Amino acid sequence: MTAEIVTTDMEAPDVWRDAGFLALNAGSSSLKFAVFPAQGETALMTGQVDRIGPEGTLKIKDGEGRPIEPAAGALTSHDTALSTVIATLKRELPDLEIAAVGHRVVHGGIHYTAPVVVDEAALETFATLSSFAPLHQPHNISGIRAAMEAFPGVVQVACFDTAFHRGQPLVNDTFALPHRYYEQGVRRYGFHGLSYEYITGEMTRIAPHLMAGRVVVAHLGNGASMCAIYRGRSVASSMGFSALDGLPMGTRCGQLDPGVMLYMLDQEKLNTAQIRQILYNESGLLGLSGGLSNDMRTLEEADTPESHRAIDYFVFRIQRELGAMAAVMGGIDALVFCGGIGENSRVVRRRVCERLGWMGIEIDHGRNAESATVISSEFARTTVMIVPTREDLVIARAARASVGVPAKDPA
């Protein structure tokens, strides 16, 4: 039986002094992880396995960002990759006892609105949602099972990317299809919820006057989406039924007329597997740039007609979605950039904010070049900010709470 997690705001007892909390994010060919102490915002160790398989690579850093040589081990599967990570962890932090493991789970369906402690029944429920997120959910489940085997008896906690959006109004939760599809779970779920949860908490801490109003958060990275947050609650999101919808991404198409898929089926005679490959892996920035790259840094450096085409479309769709988000909330008080592109690309931030003076958006180019926290000009009506996201910390907080480590606001 699953159990929702409740946190309190007290000091952690000494019994947790040597406890560690592991945050795992298992993707289709990657495994991100971070290890946190019982309290505090700084990870003791972070790392990422890329290209799981024969050509897999593992990079690990300590709490101060210094590289750590991984322990010897295979990276051919999620199980072997996790084993190699654990071997490194035990070598570097021999006295640390993992008290709970938190996992990112992309899809929580209509029922999960908060993190839950995982048992077999929960895993079976997660598996029923695999058809809703075929490229993510099976690997999330595999990561949980691998952690269960690696840490027998240790609490496992699932944190859902869809949970943050579950309170959205019906008009943004449904499609104009026969209502039976809505009842079957064909809805606008929204994703990147762990990122939006973190940004909402940070904004409440550093700019509560803005968070009490109308905020649009742009999570821009290899996966990209936007969320309208009104008085701290998600009221609209660019992603819908799947993680394909909304903005173009590194290799995903973003918003697409469903007639295009009918064309692929009827005229090109493609099967669903072939269409899935195109929409998820061959589109977005990669497809628009003629196969040049899905990495914004490469596209910015290339300075070719193909790279310009990809960046132009990416920026245009962000601007268009921003207008829609503002319309949903009846205005906008702040725009927040996060994610790999949002936090690091001064070009994308500058171009997104161009021609948006009618929304009160005007950036200070010096602040933008420095990637300052506030990059809007002094007299701009709408505040524009950069707030680095921390999905791993959201997961770690849920893992801590699962075993009774009380929450403590950062200093």
Mean pLDDT (whole number) for 38-62: 92
- Count of alpha carbons within 13 angstroms of residue 294, beta-carbon side: 18
Q: At residue 155, what is the residue type?
A: V
Asked if residue 173 belongs to a domain, the reply is: no
Q: What's residue 126's pLDDT? A: 96
Please return the burial class of 43, using the count of CB atoms within 10 Å of its CB with bins 0-12, 13-18 and 19+. Answer: buried
Asked if residue 168 belongs to a domain, the reply is: no
Q: What's residue 406's pLDDT? A: 75
Provide, rounded to the nearest whole percent, the portion of the chain with pLDDT above 90: 85
Q: What's residue 410's pLDDT? A: 45
Of the two residues 212 and 16, the one the predictor is more confident about is 212
Angle CA 236–165–315, to nearest 5: 45
Asked if residue 152 belongs to a domain, the reply is: yes
Same domain, 155 and 214: no
Which domain, by its residues, includes 351?
208-386
Q: Which of 210, 207, 240, 206 is nearest to 226 (CA)?
A: 240
Same domain, 109 and 29: yes
Same domain, 254 and 370: yes
Asked if residue 186 belongs to a domain, the reply is: no
Mean pLDDT (whole number) for 195-223: 97
Q: What's residue 408's pLDDT? A: 64
Angle CA 199–204–209, to nearest 5: 125
Q: What's residue 47's pLDDT? A: 96
- Number of domains, the chain: 2
Choosing from 141, 160, 179, the residue where a domain stops is: 160
Residue 50 has which token pair? 């890329």
Q: Is the pLDDT of residue 102 over 70?
A: yes
Per-residue pLDDT reduced to its tens digit, 69-92: 999 999 998 889 988 998 999 899
Same domain, 220 and 98: no
Provide, rounded to the nearest whole percent, the portion of the chain with pLDDT above 70: 95
Annotated catalytic residue within 14, 79, 95, 161: 161
Same domain, 292 and 357: yes
Identify any residues that bridge with 399 across adjacent strands, giving them in sequence order. Answer: none
Choosing from 160, 182, 217, the residue where a domain stops is: 160
Per-residue pLDDT reduced to its tens digit, 296-308: 999 999 999 999 9
Which CATH number goes with the domain that contains 113?
Answer: 3.30.420.40
Asked if residue 188 belongs to a domain, the reply is: no
Distance between CA 332 and CA 359 in Å, rounded?
7
161 an active-site residue? yes
Choosing from 126, 160, 194, the residue where a domain stops is: 160
Asked if residue 28 belongs to a domain, the reply is: yes
At residue 111 the predicted structure's pLDDT band, cuts being 50, 70 and 90, is confident
Same domain, 21 and 84: yes
Per-residue pLDDT reduced to its tens digit, 345-363: 999 999 999 999 999 999 9
Same domain, 125 and 227: no
Per-residue pLDDT reduced to its tens digit, 363-391: 999 999 999 999 999 999 999 999 999 99
Same domain, 289 and 346: yes
Same domain, 37 and 145: yes
Per-residue pLDDT reduced to its tens digit, 1-10: 344 554 444 4
Asked if residue 199 belongs to a domain, the reply is: no
Same domain, 370 and 237: yes
Q: What is the mean pLDDT of the chain?
A: 93
Annotate 283-332 with three-state secondary structure.
CHHHHHCCCCCCCHHHHHHHCCHHHHHHHHHHHHHHHHHHHHHHHHHCCC
Asked if residue 5 belongs to a domain, the reply is: no
Same domain, 238 and 312: yes
Q: What's residue 11's pLDDT? A: 54
Same domain, 145 and 239: no
Query: Strand 214-219 and strand 225-230: pairing?
Result: antiparallel
